[in-house]
Chains A and B, each alone.
Chain A
């Protein structure tokens, strides 16, 4: 996809460079104006973006990624300049003069970004004028490209180097997008391209706080979801799970801190292009048919999953012509899931996806979610079903009163609450470090151990005869209650 787009951009540039001299009387072979353009772009960035690039944080951004990104951004800038300046502005200069051409082409340039950026497209009025001037003053397309590319690269670098983006919440340096073990693959053009367009973190909340009236729903929450991860967000009712998800999705603004979705502000339309969402309550328009609703949602994406395939996958194939009002609760849930998957997302956000759904439906849902994660998609799921979280999540984040109270794999979370309990009958017991005998009556013993596997291995190796061996790990529920200090 990226390769195709890149090729398209390059083709436009070549075409425009070939055509421009014929249509634009201004264009000449002036002095090398690229440095001038780059300076203009840099000044524009300094004035407009009001963002400082922190050199310390920049070090953590992998150099290959920076390079690849610069190349992609430059090509894209060249493509835009070829279209907006060399062709459009160039054509207009003849009939309406330089000032008029600059004004009209800039307004069109800004208007073209209206759909994607909304009112923020207004800043294209400024950038368009500067790029246009770079072109008009020097008479060279290269100057405009230089200005545009410099400005966009600086914006991109600014984004990459934001300290809270590249350093994870724990203060460790961010995992580079391409891990060192993958270095060999780095030099495949695909990998470079992918690293140029993808972000190390799928979604994150950075020190987010949110207060509703008197209630502090989130209190400095940090959350990070990476590709291929299934993050289970656990917590009792009112812990802030739904608020956290709604901030990640851009539905609510945080009071403090910020949310990042694919390296962008989730309130930007483009940031939401590769996500799928299942909200807690499912209220779908009752009089629409299943197929019609799916079509509506599919229309939002460039390359959506074909309707029949989508419905098949969620066992809704027979229901395309049924009105939504006639679906059962479980079917509605699965339809909501189908809508979330319609745009081939890279990340799924699910708020209590299996609440009020029967066992069969739950199986179908988790089958899809597992397949999605196995294909490298990231999932953030809130749930109160500890059993499910335990079975499917690669990482759990337990929150209570808007703060993280526990984070790690299921095993780690369980380990937080304490030791496993071993009960057995034996003449005597082996000596194993980390084991405490808490009860011994005749041949019955109760032992608390850190590492039950190791204890059992030692027991077998010691040759002691034993029977009725029972190993009880603390359940996730025990851990949950201990961590949150709350009943579920």
Chain B
């Protein structure tokens, strides 16, 4: 565990020192909230749910997917790390911890913006529950990002992650509640996406309008397991290519 922290720290330091990355990741969701927020007549609380999720999703994708993919370019360093007395799970844990840290900062920024600009209102208990749901809900996406990074060639990972990010964000209704007249097929598609499950859970917690949708919680757990398997498989496969 101590080792996972050490890897997380090194990972985080590397990202923080590249201002273009750090600023883009942290500023993008805030700008998005300011751009889209005024036009959506959702509750400000639902706005917070959707855009904090967006922020975390972006981190899972671009920090992880692309992070893993490009770190494979530093093969010599990766190879050296493999000679140290530890196994792959430690590095994976390090990456997850680092993503959670980044997410926390991004979420606070979005939350503060929404509270100041759109007068979103949260009790302390609700805020805490939201934070927990964000952190836990980020796990499947972080794993998806890692899987993505390992499965795609480094050069393809960035554009592909962009595309998938947009699809998941829009179809998963992160940026606005789905309209009531949405065709049934489209709604089912949306319901099946992990982003939709996540935002439904966050929505229920943030607004307090309706009960926690347990089937979406179950779906998120299932997605986590699927993505974990994919990430692990991808890692082994990549390792198999380079290290046998």
Contact = CB atoms under 8 A, between A and B. Distances in A.
Contact of B14 (A277, A280, A288): A288
Contacts of A282: 76
B17 interface: yes
Contact of B84 (A288, A300, A323, A336): A300
B13 interface: yes
B124 interface: no
Given A288-B14, A299-B6, A272 B84 contact: yes
B77 A285 contact: yes
Contacts of B3: 299-300
B86 A300 contact: yes
Contacts of A336: 80
A296 B80 CA distance: 12
A283 B76 contact: yes
Interface residues of B, number: 25
Contacts of B7: 296
A251 interface: yes
B96 to A, nearest CB: 16
Interface in A324-349: 336, 339, 343, 349
B73 to A, nearest CB: 9
Contacts of B79: 251, 279
Contacts of A283: 74-77
Nearest to B84: A300
A250 B84 CA distance: 11
Given A279-B80, A287-B17, A288-B10, A118 B87 contact: yes
Interface string B222-244: 00000000000000000000011
Would you call the interface of chain A mostly helix, strand, loop, or mixed?
loop
A252 interface: yes
B38 to A, nearest CB: 37
Contacts of B83: 249-251, 272, 275, 277, 279, 349
Interface in B6-61: 6-7, 9-10, 13-14, 17-18
A182 B147 CA distance: 55
A269 B86 contact: yes
Nearest to A300: B84
A249 B80 CA distance: 10
A253 interface: yes
27 contacts: A115-B89, A118-B89, A249-B83, A250-B82, A253-B243, A269-B86, A273-B85, A277-B80, A277-B83, A280-B76, A283-B75, A283-B76, A284-B77, A285-B77, A287-B13, A292-B9, A292-B10, A295-B6, A296-B6, A296-B10, A299-B6, A300-B3, A300-B6, A300-B85, A300-B86, A323-B17, A343-B85
Given A115-B89, A251-B243, A300-B86, 4 more contacts: A270-B85, A279-B80, A288-B10, A288-B13
